[in-house]
Amino acid sequence: MTQNFNQEQLSRIIEMAWEDRTPFEAIQQNYGLSEAGVIRLMRQELTAGSFRRWRQRVAGRVTKHASLRSDGVLRAYCPTQYKHRN
């Protein structure tokens, strides 16, 4: 089900899915996974407990859906969130 994602891509998709301000649409744009695809991937890659916590966290979260966000939210991430490689 991982659509030939390498470990770095899987890690980034999971990270984006956990981020409060990254909408599912951003994951789809970057990796071609719909919300349902992200849910399947998370179910496959996370432990059962972690998956349940993630689902509780994102269920009904307005910021996870671009169409539900207020007009004032113009970005999907905080500029300081990305890890810098040295």
The number of domains in the chain is 1
CB burial of 21-56 (b: ≥16 within 10 Å; e: otherwise) equals bbbbbbbeeebebebebbbebbeebbeeeeeeebee
pLDDT, residue 86, reads 47
Per-position pLDDT tens, the chain of length 86: 457 899 999 999 999 999 888 899 999 999 999 999 999 999 999 999 999 999 998 887 776 766 655 555 455 555 555 555 54
Question: What would you measure as the largest C-alpha separation in the chain, in angstroms?
Answer: 37
Assigned domain for 80 exists: no
Residue position matching structure tokens 């179910």: 43
Q: Please check whether residue 85 lies inside any domain of the structure.
A: no
In this prediction, residue 50 carries a pLDDT of: 96
Residue 77 lies inside a defined structural domain of this protein:
no
| Domain around 37 | 7-68
| pLDDT value of position 20 | 83
Tokens encoding 40? 């399947």
Q: Is the pTM of this model over 0.85?
A: no
